Structure 1
Amino acid sequence: MSLTFFDNAVAAGGGNGVPAGLFLPIAVLPGVVAGEFGAGESQATKEGKALLAMSNALFDYYTANSTNLVGLLATRAKASASDVLDNITFTFQHQYVSKLSDASFGQIPLPAAGANSGVGGFAVQDIFAAAADVAAEGAISGEGVVIPYADLSAFGGSAPAGITAGNDNRDLIAAMNRAMADLVVVRDATNASAVTAATQANSISFTLAAAATATTDPTTGLVAGELDKISTVQMSTSYTVQVALNQSAQTFDVNVVTA
C-alpha cells in the first residue's frame, strides 16, 4: 500500500478508498495548509509535505519531553544545498530489549516503582492531538493522510487498543518511522521527490545508563540483577527532505525534482 491522501471529508461506506490506519488531519501537520493534499498535487509532493510535517511534529515532541521518554531519541539537522535550497535531515532512534528468559523482543518496559513509575510512554494523541484510528472504509473527517496499518505490521506496528492520553503507542510510532523509508518515493534520476534520502541503519547494541536500573527511582522497568539475561538493540531511521526558499514569491516549500 502507500500513504493515502484525502482532500476533503469522506463518508463511511464500501469502496470509499479508506484503508484501516492512522488518520492525521492537516490540523496536526505543521506547515500543511488547506488544499495541499488536493488532487492537483502529485503523490510525491504530498509525501514530501507529509513526511516533513510528521517529522517536525515528532522531533518537537521528542525533544520537549526527552527527559521523560523511554527508548526514544531524535535529531534534526539542516545543511544548505545552495542559496535557495536547504536539506533537512531527521534521525529517529528507537531502543528495544530482548529477554533471553522468555525469548521476547519489544519496547523497554516503563518503570513500575519510585518517582518515575509509569513515566516514559506516550500516546499518538499526545503528539497529534486530532489523530484518529480509522477502520477500513470508515469515515474521514476532512483533509489529511492515512498511514495504513498494513504497512506498519512488518515493523512491529498494528491497530492500537487506543491512541488517547494514557495509552503507550511507542510501538506504533516506531513502526511509522521505520516504515516511511519504504512508503515514500526517494529522489533519483527518474523519480521526482523532495525526499533525497531515506535510510534504515543496521541495528546496534547500546549500553543502558546507570539510572535505567537504579535501586531508587529507576527510569526503566529493567532490573540490574537481570542485565546478564537481556540484550539491548537500537534501530535508527533517517530522512532528508529538501526545501526551496523563494524570496521573490515569499514561499517556502518542499522541492520536488529529479536527481
Structure 2
Amino acid sequence: MALTFFESSVSAGGGNGVPAGLFLPIADLPGVVAGEFADAQSQATKESKAALAIANAIHDYLSANSADIVGMTSTRAKASVSDILDNLTFSFACQYVADLETETVGQIPLPASGANSGVGGFALDDLFANAAEVAEEDAITGEGVVIPYADLVEYGGSDPAAITGVDNRDFVAAMIRAFPAIVPVRSASVASGVTSISQAAGTTFTLPAAATAETDPTTGLTAADLPKIAALQFTTSWTVQVALDQAAQTFDVNVVTA
C-alpha cells in the first residue's frame, strides 16, 4: 500500500478509498496548510510533504522530551546545497530488548518503581493531538493522510488498542522503520523531495548503569536480567530537500528527478 491522502472529509461507505490505519489531519503536520493534500497535487508532492512534516513532528516531540523517553532518540541536521536549496536529514534510533528466556523482542520496559515509575513512554496523541484510528471504508473528518496499518505490520506495528493515555512507542517505531518502504526516493525516473534514505542493520549496545539501578532505575529491567537479554538499536534516516524561492516568497519541498 502507500500513504493515502484526502483533500476533504469523506463519508463512510464502500469504495471510499479509506484503508484501515492512523489518520493524521493537516493540523497535526507542521508546515502543511489547507489545499496541500488536494487531489490536484501530485502523489510525489504530497508524499514528500508528509515525509517532512511527520519527521518534524516526531523529532520535535522526542527532542523536547528526550530526558524522559526510554528507547528512542532523534537528530535533525541541515546542509546547504546551494543559495536556494537545503537538505534536512532526520535520523531516528529505535531501541529494543531481545529476551533470550522468552524468545521475544520488544520495547525496553518502562520502570515500575522508584522516582521514575511509569516514565519513558508516550501515546500517539502526544505527538499528533488530533490523530484518529480509522477502519477500512471509515469516515474521514477532513484534509489529511492515512498511514495504513498494513504497511507497518512487518516492522512491529499493528492496529493499536488505543492512542490516548497508553504507551505507543512500538507503533511510532514501526512508522519510522516503515518509511523507507512507503515513501519513494528521488532517482532519474522518480520525482521526489526525499533525496536519500538509510536503514542501518541492527546493532547491539550496552545499557547505562542507570537503566538497572537498584534505586530509581530508568527502565523496567534489573541487573538480574542482563545475562539473558540483548539491547538492540535500529537507526533509520531520511533526507528531504527544500527550496527557497525569494521572488515568490515560498519555502517548500523540492520535488524533482535526479
Q: Shift of residue 123 of structure 1?
A: 0.4
The alpha-carbon deviation at position 231 of structure 1 amounts to 0.5
- TM-score, with structure 2 as normaliser: 0.99
- What is the alpha-carbon distance in structure 2 between the residues aligned to residue 252 and residue 45 of structure 1? 14
User: C-alpha deviations, 1:164-210, integer Å up to 9, x for none?
Assistant: 1x211011100101111000110000001000011111100011111
Cα offset, 1:154, TM superposition: 0.5
One-letter identity of the residue aligned with 1:256: V
Q: Could you state the TM-score of these two structures normalised by the residue count of structure 1?
A: 0.99
CA–CA separation in structure 1 for the residues paired with 2:13 and 2:100: 46
- Distance, in Å, in 2 between the alignment partners of 1:77 and 1:69 is 21
C-alpha root-mean-square deviation of aligned residues, in Å? 0.5
Q: Within the alignment, does 1:16 sit opposite 2:16 as a pair?
A: yes
Corresponding position: 1:221 with 2:224: no
Q: Post-superposition shift, 1:48?
A: 0.6
- Supply the AA of the counterpart residue of 2:153: S
Instruction: Find the counterpart in structure 1 of residue 50 from structure 2.
Output: 50
User: What is the CA-CA distance between 1:214 and the residue it aligns to?
Assistant: 0.6
The one-letter code sitting in structure 2 at the alignment partner of 1:160 is P
1:156-167 equivalences in 2 (<5 Å) = 156-164=156-164, 166-167=165-166
Query: How far apart are the structure 2 equivalents of 1:42 and 1:143?
Result: 15
What are the residue-to-residue correspondences of 1:109-120 with 2, within 5 Å?
Answer: 109-120=109-120
2:77 aligned residue: 77
1:227 to partner: Cα distance: 0.5
For the residue of structure 1 that corresponds to 2:98, the secondary structure is: strand
Which 4+ residue blocks in structure 1 deviate beyond 3 angstroms?
none
3-state DSSP of counterpart to 1:145: strand
Distance 2:121 2:129 in 1: 16
Q: What amino acid sits opposite 1:250 in the alignment? A: Q
What SS does the aligned partner of 1:205 have? strand
1:27 is aligned to 27
Paired residue type of 1:75: T
Distance 1:114 1:70 in 2: 15
Per-residue deviation, residues 10-46 of structure 1 (Å, max 9, x unmatched): 0111111000000000000000000000111111100
Residues 199-238 of structure 1 aligned to structure 2 (within 5 Å): 199-238=198-237
Query: Unpaired segments of 5 or more residues in structure 2?
Result: none
SS at match of 1:139: coil
Deviations 1:98-157 (A, max 9, x none): 111111110000000001111111000001000001000001000000000000001000
- Structure 1 residue 225: Cα displacement: 1.8
How many residues in Structure 1 have an aligned counterpart in Structure 2? 258
- How far apart, in 1, do the equivalents of 2:10 and 2:166 lie? 27
Q: CA-to-partner distance for each residue in 1:69-90, whole Å, 9 max, x for gaps? A: 0000100000001110000000
1:66 partner amino acid? S
Structure 1, unmatched stretches of 5+, are: none
What percentage of aligned pairs have identical amino acids? 67
Q: Secondary structure, in 3 states, of the residue corresponding to 2:133?
A: strand
Q: What is residue 6 of structure 1 aligned with on the other side?
A: 6
Whole-Å Cα distance in 2 between the matches of residues 195 and 52 of structure 1?
Answer: 8
- The residue identity in structure 2 corresponding to 1:213 is T
SS of residue in 2 equivalent to 1:56: helix
